[in-house]
Amino acid sequence: MFWNIYSKRLLSCLRNKDQLIWIWAFPLILATLFYFTLSSVGEADNLKAIPTGVVTDAAYEADPMFGQVLDQVGSGEDALLNITEYTRENEADRDLETGKIAGYILLQDNTPKLMVKQDGMNQTILKSFLDRYVQTEGNIKAIMEKNPDYNLNWEEIMGGASLTENMSLSSQPYSPILNPYYGLIAMVCMYGGMQGLMSITYLQGNLSPLGARRMMAPLSRIRVIFCDMTGSITVHMMSLLFLLFYITVILKVDFGNKLPLLVLTCFVGSILGVAFGTAVSCLSKLGESMKVGILVSVTMLCCFGAGMMESSMKYLIDQKFPVISWLNPAARISDALYCLYYFDDYQRYGQNIAVIMAMSAVLLLLSGVSLRRQSYESI
């Protein structure tokens, strides 16, 4: 009997076109949009070597100190400049006009001059570099005159001394693009409420003819609900696993190396979403379309607080309204995923999972009490 009800529930979920759109297609479209929108964000802080021209005329040859500085800042993996040498100024002008270089440097009266075509970030960096060189040139010359054999590291001098050391509290590198994906997964988990709402609709005799027939069947209502909920969670979990596959394998977004716990989080979130839908359906006497509207509205509001639309919103609510944050199911799901990626211990992750399970238990308990009290004078 279990397999009969369970299999029919699976077929019913897979044949529902509205749910196929909202739970399967819509998340894939959003994930693709996130990929094209956020793919360049992670590279925004990685400055590339600036294409720069240098006129190597007689004035340049007469100033070996400046040449040594350019050699050091234009070499290595973290080079500031990608230098192209020109023997004549008109050659540099030609490449500047075509955009091959951001600017070029020439020496006039023993002072470096920067020639650019337009303003921009690269041009500003070049101007700051030359200004710093001019300011420190006198001191460096004095040191070299007193200690001609002293080996100066021009890259350190021009870059400034660093009194701090970059340290990471996590074994995973920081990624600014993960929060929207975590919010998306939380949204799909909450959209499991559509599965739960449909399950209850097909169990209530006053909402659908199918519900009326099922209420007349000589089966325990608890067994029917259990079979339906199991089928709903199975189909919903399939959509979540497909979304994870698409994000991690097709889009190649790194979610860390804790895949089993990632799947566990999605499974717990799926139960919460289905429980949320059953509660909305059982505790409200509105029509099905109104219930779907409530479910979608609450889901999007929770996902906004979880940082899917604006990453800083989750942090703001955590700081200003911590109680609201802990009562937000989407925020708990996204935070659990966040903990899996960044934290090496599982204390905060366990707290999030415990809260998600507690929310699911409360919603299912309310739904069970409501269904148990329902009766019909005639069907």
DSSP codes joined into one string, 187-230: HHHHTTHHHHHHHHHTT-TTT-HHHHHHHTSSS-HHHHHHHHHH
Which candidate, 196, 192, 182, places its Cα nearest to that of 313? 182
CA 372 to chain centre: 42
65 within some domain: yes
Whether 188 shows a pLDDT value over 90: the answer reads yes
- 270 with 149, same domain: the answer is no
Structure tokens at 18: 């509205």
CA 250 to chain centre: 16
Put simply, whether the predicted model's pTM sits higher than 0.85 gets the answer: no
Whether 163 shows a pLDDT value over 50: the answer reads no
327 within some domain: yes
C-alpha gyration radius of the chain: 31
Whether 8 shows a pLDDT value over 90: the answer reads no
Residue 31: what residue type? Answer: A
Res 227: pLDDT: 80
- 305 with 281, same domain: the answer is yes
170 within some domain: no
CA 346 to chain centre: 21
- 288 with 347, same domain: the answer is yes
Instruction: Give 295-301's long-range contacts (Cβ < 8 A, gap of 24+).
Output: 295/193, 295/194, 295/197, 298/190, 299/187, 299/190, 299/191, 299/193, 299/330, 300/187
More confident residue, 227 or 337: 337
| 252-264: average pLDDT | 91
173 within some domain: no
| 179-197: average pLDDT | 91
Q: Give per-residue pLDDT as tens, 33-82.
A: 999 888 766 554 556 788 898 988 888 888 887 888 888 888 777 788 88
- 191 with 136, same domain: the answer is no
- 222 with 149, same domain: the answer is no
Q: With contact defined as beta carbons under 8 Å apart, do 290 and 206 qualify? A: no
At residue 357's C-alpha, the angle toward residues 342 and 274, to 5°, is 105
Res 330: pLDDT: 95
Which candidate, 177, 354, 138, places its Cα nearest to that of 264? 354
- 352 with 299, same domain: the answer is yes
Res 23: pLDDT: 87
Q: With contact defined as beta carbons under 8 Å apart, do 231 and 205 qualify? A: no
| 273-291: average pLDDT | 86
Q: What count of other Cβ atoms lies within 10 Å of the Cβ of residue 165?
A: 5
Whether 158 shows a pLDDT value over 70: the answer reads no
Categorize the per-residue pLDDT at 164 as very low, low, confident or very high, splitting at 50, 70 and 90: low
Q: What count of other Cβ atoms lies within 10 Å of the Cβ of residue 86?
A: 19
Res 40: pLDDT: 65
Categorize the per-residue pLDDT at 119 as very low, low, confident or very high, splitting at 50, 70 and 90: confident
CA-to-CA distance for 242 and 112, rounded, in angstroms? Answer: 58
For tokens 């690269």, name the residue.
Answer: 122
More confident residue, 90 or 76: 90
Categorize the per-residue pLDDT at 362 as very low, low, confident or very high, splitting at 50, 70 and 90: very high
Categorize the per-residue pLDDT at 217 as very low, low, confident or very high, splitting at 50, 70 and 90: low
Which candidate, 202, 192, 194, 193, places its Cα nearest to that of 224? 202
**Residues near 318 by beta carbon (within 8 Å), at least 6 away in sequence:** 325
- 185 with 261, same domain: the answer is yes
Domain count, the chain: 2
Whether 167 shows a pLDDT value over 80: the answer reads no
172 within some domain: no
CATH number, domain at 141?
A: 3.40.190
- 241 with 279, same domain: the answer is yes
The whole-chain average pLDDT of the chain stands at: 82
Helices (H) and strands (E) in the chain, counts: 18, 4
Q: Give per-residue pLDDT as tens, 363-375.
A: 988 887 877 665 5
Categorize the per-residue pLDDT at 130 as very low, low, confident or very high, splitting at 50, 70 and 90: confident
- Strands across the sheet containing 111-116: 81-86, 50-55, 103-108, 111-116
Q: What count of other Cβ atoms lies within 10 Å of the Cβ of residue 238?
A: 16
More confident residue, 137 or 237: 237
Categorize the per-residue pLDDT at 219 as very low, low, confident or very high, splitting at 50, 70 and 90: low
Structure tokens at 339: 């903990």
* Percent of the chain scoring above 70 in pLDDT: 82
**Residues near 184 by beta carbon (within 8 Å), at least 6 away in sequence:** 27, 30, 31, 34, 243, 308
Q: What count of other Cβ atoms lies within 10 Å of the Cβ of residue 345?
A: 8
Count CA atoms closer than 13 A to 284's CA, side-chain side. 18
Q: With contact defined as beta carbons under 8 Å apart, do 284 and 291 qualify? A: yes
Whether 170 shows a pLDDT value over 90: the answer reads no
More confident residue, 205 or 195: 195
Indicate the helix (H) or strand (E) that contains 182: helix 178-190
The residue ranges of DSSP E strands in the chain, in sequence order, are: 50-55, 81-86, 103-108, 111-116
- 114 with 257, same domain: the answer is no
Residue ranges making up the domain that contains 118 = 50-159
Categorize the per-residue pLDDT at 89 as very low, low, confident or very high, splitting at 50, 70 and 90: confident
